[in-house]
Every structure is written in structure tokens, then in C-alpha cells.
């Protein structure tokens, strides 16, 4: 029986493309994430990804923000809550986040390259 894949997430002004590899999952963010409270719609999606990561024992989730034109603080907060959730998982089940593709966003000086 083939494992269920996760569908792409489609929001009002942004979408997240899901690409699964043998050893990782790639999430490609596109558009503008500027909702006042994106947690209500993103948390269930991130939970699906989390469950898949745990079930498949993927060691890494790659977060690609190259095509994301805007990310507000509420979006950042939602992503950080997911990272925090994973930090509380047992070591043998914990996976890493790779944000290497994040770029400068218009209107600010944010630039981040890291793995968590």
C-alpha cells in the first residue's frame, strides 16, 4: 500500500507546494503570506506534514521561501510554533528544518540561512 502524499496548500494570496524526496520533504512557499491569523489555517497543514515526517522518519524538512514575496510576523510566529513543537519530540524521532533558501524580503533587512 502506497503512503498518502500531502496535498499542496492553497491559501488566498499564497500557496505551499509539497515535494517529497526519499530522505526529506520540501515545502516551497509562493506569493504573500500576510494574513492577520494564518495559524488557524496553517497549523492543520503543518500538523499533516509533521505526522508524515514522523511516520516516514524523514530527517529533514526543507523550507524554500525564494518565491514568497512577503511574510508577516504572524506567519513567522506560526512557523516558529511548529519548530518548537518538533523540539519537544524524542531525539530519535526529531527532524531538522532547513531554511537555506530564505532571501531578503522587500521592505526589511531579514536574511536567514540556517538549519534547526
- Specify the CATH number for the domain of residue 76: 3.30.750.24
In-domain check, residue 108: no
- Can you give the pLDDT of all 116 residues of the chain as single tens digits? 346 689 999 988 999 999 998 888 999 999 998 888 999 999 999 999 999 999 999 999 999 988 888 888 899 999 999 999 999 988 888 899 988 655 555 555 444 444 44
Position 13 scores a pLDDT of: 92
Grid cell in block for residue 46: 503543518
In-domain check, residue 84: yes
The verdict on pTM exceeding 0.85 is no
88/10 Cα distance (integer angstroms): 28
In-domain check, residue 75: yes
Residue 26 host element (H or E): strand 24-33
Within 13 Å and on the Cβ side, how many CA atoms surround 23?
Answer: 3
In-domain check, residue 21: yes
In-domain check, residue 49: yes
Number of domains in the chain: 1
- Name the CA radius of gyration of the chain, rounded: 14
In-domain check, residue 91: yes
In-domain check, residue 1: no
In-domain check, residue 4: no
Residues 6+ apart with CB under 8 A from 93: 54, 57
Domain that holds residue 72: 9-98
Amino acid at each position: 500500500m502506497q503512503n498518502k502524499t500531502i496535498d499542496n496548500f492553497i491559501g488566498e494570496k499564497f500557496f505551499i507546494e509539497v515535494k517529497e524526496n526519499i530522505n526529506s520533504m520540501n515545502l516551497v512557499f509562493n506569493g504573500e503570506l500576510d494574513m492577520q491569523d494564518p495559524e488557524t489555517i496553517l497549523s492543520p497543514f503543518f500538523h499533516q506534514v509533521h505526522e508524515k515526517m514522523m511516520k516516514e522518519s524523514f530527517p529533514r524538512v526543507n523550507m524554500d521561501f525564494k518565491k514568497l514575496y512577503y511574510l508577516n510576523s504572524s506567519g513567522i510566529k506560526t512557523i516558529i510554533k511548529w519548530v518548537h513543537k518538533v523540539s519537544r519530540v524524542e531525539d530519535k524521532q526529531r527532524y531538522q528544518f532547513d531554511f537555506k533558501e530564505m532571501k531578503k524580503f522587500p521592505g526589511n533587512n531579514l536574511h536567514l540561512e540556517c538549519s534547526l
